[in-house]
Each structure stands twice: as C-alpha cells, then as structure tokens.
Structure 1
C-alpha cells in the first residue's frame, strides 16, 4: 500500500488515476451507521472476515520464527540499542511490524536477533520530538524475522516501558542507552484497609452495601473510593466507551476487551494517537492510566484532517477489524509505519486510485487511496470486498488526523476534564 510517505507521491497518483469524488452528506452517514453492519451480517452469501488475520501481517511474506522470550525485572537497569527514525509511541501489547532498507537499522535488527531479540523504541510524537530531557520508551521483542540482500523485515511485540538514564555509547547514528524498566504498580482495593470483618459473611450477597458501611470508617465518602476500584473502572469503560466494542468480536462472541487492569489500560492506550500516548507511557499505575484515558476518550467525538481541520469521521463509527481493536499498526512497502483506525463510515474523502489487493493489510479486501477533499492530503484507504462481511470500511492513518474534543463550559462545571 502506498501513500505520500511510501513509494508514490500524491501528485503522481493524481496524474495516473481519474479523481473520483466520494463524498457523503449527513443523511448518508446516519443511514450507514444504523443499517450497514446489520445488513452485512445478515448476508448469508458472504463470509465473515476473520479478525485474527490482520495481526499475522501476512503481507510481509514468509518469515522465520524467532524463539525465546526475554523478561526484564521491574526497575532493572539494562543497556538497549534505540531504533532511530521511528516516529510514534508504542505501548505494551501492541504488535509492531517494520521493514527497513537502510544499513544502520538493518544491522541493528540483525544484531538484536542474534542476541536477546530486544531493542528499544523511543516514545515521541508523529511530527516532532519532545523537548523534555526525560526520554521514555518501550522495549520491543522480535518474534519473526526475514533478511534479504536489501530488505530486513520484522514482527515484534511491545513488552515493557522504560525511562532512559543516560547514553551508554553511540555506534554511528545508533544510540545504546542505559534504561530503567518501569514497574506496574497495582493498588489494592480502595477499602481494603477499612475492612470490617463482621461483614465478610454477607459481602458476596450485598457488596455495595458493605462498601458503603465500610466507607463510614474512612475519611472519604464511598464514591471517592469507587473511582479507584478496578471492577468499577472496567464496568464504566464497557458502558461509556461502547464504540470500542463495535466490530466482528460480537459476531464471534469473544470478550470485547481485556479484564486485567494493566492489560486494559494498555489496550485503551492503543486507541489513542502517539501524542496522547506520550503522557500515558510515563504513568506507572494502571488505575490512573485508565481513569485519564476514560475521561479523555469520553470527550473525543470527531476526527479531523490534521492539515485543514476538515471533518473526516466520528468516534461512534469505530469498527474493529482486528482482535487488537479498532486501531492497529501496519507498515507499507516504503517502510512507513501507520497507526490505522478502522471506521464503518467516513466523510469528505476523495478516492484517487483504482482498487488493488496487492499488499493488502486485510486479506480478501481491495484498497483504494483516500485523500481529504479540501486539501488533498493523504488520509487513509477505503477497503472493499465482494465476498466478505463487512462489504466496505475505512482505514484512516492517525498521523493524518487530529482529535476534536467536545469540551464546553458545562463540561468543566460537570468535572469532565481528563483526570487521573
């Protein structure tokens, strides 16, 4: 798949293809949002897309399996090579595909495979580096690898967060940094210290009443304790962020989101842009991470073109095409990595290419390049299939979008500011 960051420029694409306007008005968006998914599932002549396929990244071709697993203890200080030239912020649990052709990064990845399979990725925004002297990042562990004369490809899992302490040595443009692995601090149940033993025999029958009774013995009311209860946060995420559950997982009756507090906080983080994850990766408490993201994502309503602020899509149209959720990471033939969100509908986009199945991130789907109808900047792709459900969806690059927050004066009065 190509874009302005890959092998083809927008100007070349426009000259090679007929520009076909593909604009939706508000009635089109509402109609599709209500009926499209239901109609597609009811189509018995089509096969339901297997959401396990995207995370295999089969478009990278045959690769060798790298065995072994490296687990670094919390707070341990280790030396890691930092991968240069990789914009974005990765959080533990993400799958990270990469293709490199330059000598420096190719040699770094070869050495990593020969060693403990691990390298570091610095956390940074899509367009600029943080001016802060403190550098954070995440370790990536290679689990599949291929090496040809002019191309090195990997699939890696993001494992643990780290904070850079100092530069150990510099081997050409590659920095070897001394980093400290950040711990995951899991707090106890908020009312544990105020436990009333006499309530234990009825706690499983009336848990809420027991919490209220125990809160009387603490300095704070029960609602304060509830805000930091992992069970409450998990239920609130499920109720308030319903759009994250939309997708094929409902059809296959799979759990829509992780239940472990740490895994849930990172899973929520994969649905944010790199700039928001810069803040997320510094926080050691899963509860504080989840509270901040829940508060932030409840305010995110629209996605707009980063260049001209043209409306592109709505949060309510999130549609998961992968077991990882509605946002995953993919790499194009030019080696450019895209954080890609999948939406059931989008607006104000123009298609500038013919359908192609070559190098498709979603096997069985053909892709077409989509640009903003106002500024003609690359936004993402439209995916279509004649045999699969859903028939169509949109894959939009987070690098090309910014989030419009639905804040108002009333929002601040109601306490809806993103909080920890």
Structure 2
C-alpha cells in the first residue's frame, strides 16, 4: 500500500483544523526541530475560517493557562488583538438570589471563536503544516500506514490524529474501522443580540450564569462580547423553543438590557445556532496508528469550561507521544493516557458536581447555597471554581466539603425552613 522509502520523513495526518489539530501540528514541528528529525504534517480541514464564513457554537471565553501554554509550548503569541471583551468574574443566579464571584487570576478574554481558530490554523500553516481543504469520507488502517479518503484525492500517512471535535461523519468511519465510541454529549443553543453601547457599558464584565429548574436545561449563560451579548443554554436535548422559553424567564429577562430592542441595532439578532459538546470520555480513542485529541477524545472538563485549553493541551501531548515514544496502541496507552491523567482523574469529581448542581437547581436549594456563600469565603471560592473552570473539580469538592462551608450551608437551610 504505502510506497515509501526508509529515508522519507515520518508523515503525520491530522483530521480537523480547530485548536486541537492546529496545536498538534505546531507542536509536532517544534518538537521535530528540537530532535533534528524530519517530519511532514498534513492537516485536513474543509471549513474556511478566513472571512468568518461559518459560526462556531462555542461562546469563546479563553483564560489562563492558555496564553502561557501557547507561547511556551507552541511559540505562538496569544492573539490579544482579537479580544472583544475582558471577563473579570461571574454572577451566579438562583431563583431569587444572585452572587457576584471573582477570582485572583488574570481576566478571561472573550473573542469570536472562528477568528481564534483561523489564527491558530494560519499560524500552523506559516510554520510548515500542509493544509488540505478537503473533507474526509473514509479511512483504512494497514500494517504499514493509514489511508484517508477525501472528497478529492486520498492521502497516505504513518499515523492519524483525530481532531474532528463532535463531527458525526468522522466519528462514524472511525467507529467502523477502529471501534471508536464517541463521548456522550450535551446539546447547546446559542444566540446573541446588540443592546446598544450604553447598555453594554452598564452590563459590566461579568458572565451571568443560570441554573434553571427546567428539567432539560442544565445551565445557561449571558456573556458580554464587545458590542453584543451572547446567550447560551445547554442540556441533554435543548432546542430552539427551549431557548425561547429561557429568554422569557423573569430572572433571565431582568439580566438582559434593552432586550425589547433586539433586531433594531442588528437585523441578525436572536438567530439561533445549535451545537454539541462532550461530557464524558470516549472509548477506544487511541490504537495502533491513531489517536484522538480534544473534544473527539472527550478529554475536557465534565461540567464544561476550558475546552480550548484542553484541546491545545491534548494536541501537544499527542505530538510528544508520537515523536518521543511512538504511535502504537501501547505507546498511546502508556504515555498519552497518563499525560492526560489531570483531565481523566478529575472527570469523576466533575460528573458528581454536575449531578449535585442539577439536584440543587431542580429542588430549589440553590438560593440557600448562594446565601451561605455570601458569608463563607471558601464556599464562595468553590462556586467560582465550579463556574469559571479555573480550579479542578477535586479542589472544588474540597472547598465545598470544608467544615466552614458545610456549616454555612446548613445554617442557610435552617433559616430557610424556620
């Protein structure tokens, strides 16, 4: 199959040009240069990021340690010029209570994800990654290599990196050929509107987070992004009517300035976009001559947040494994999986936190927790870590179960029932 000579460079194929795929390509070329090893990196991506011809359903809030990770590990500066707004904290909403939350880290950056994705892909191209504007249609694994069939010409390589996110078509042919099982997923619906300059200034620099009682909505958010507010909801099966219902809730409407003027500033206001994101680890996400990274592997925080950071981290770790250890199933199991233990080991804590938060929201207990957090700094820190993604869920649990936190929560419940 593979008509290669021993002197030819190792050829790595990357399927997907989002942050995970671009980061992997950049890391491969950086590490290969350090090792004085010849490699060829080919990335397949059918989307055109230039000109912003498609909409990315990610809200687009990026935070530490991503800027340092990009500059240190990829030698690519963080694109501060793409900043739409700085996020300094969160405001958590219950039914009747709300709580501002701020941490000690640098402000997060709100930007348009399609612009960030385009920047990363352009950086990879400038570094030497070959980008093919083609869509993969099937693949084959052989003892001596991999073939990826596309809507143009087939591409052959030594190892394949799956960076296709939640794309169901790519997942389907990986499932057929490699017994890959994609991660479980939540649906999301995203929209936006322009409330006007004065209203945006008054809104401030906080993301407003909501945990509704509705059985199909796990969380919702309002994010300031320069001249507009982005609104998102997520759950097992959220849809457009559910977004419309969410926007009608009094606690949500109270947080939306000049909402009645939507579409007067911009005719495209309140268009809905739907997406999916993983909430569990994929199965068989690596094997002989292939490895998944980012969302495709399910290597993300269980309760959302830090998706781009995890994508970049896993792309770097896959590159290190391929060039330093190899690309057999054993190499990925021994090195790549263990390198991601920070993500994998935190998943059970995140899933437990997700279940508890949903229970609190559905049972009306969230207001009592918010009242308790006003008085107890460690509980307040736990809530900030949970909504911001700035702390591991293990740390969030430690803060939540601290004696002072539990005492404050118990006191709030007793006052509620008395």
With normalisation by structure 2, the TM-score equals 0.24
Task: Pick the structure with more helix per residue.
Answer: 2
Task: Pick the structure with more strand per residue.
Answer: 1
With normalisation by structure 1, the TM-score equals 0.24
Higher RCO, 1 or 2 (CA under 8 Å, sep at least 6)?
1
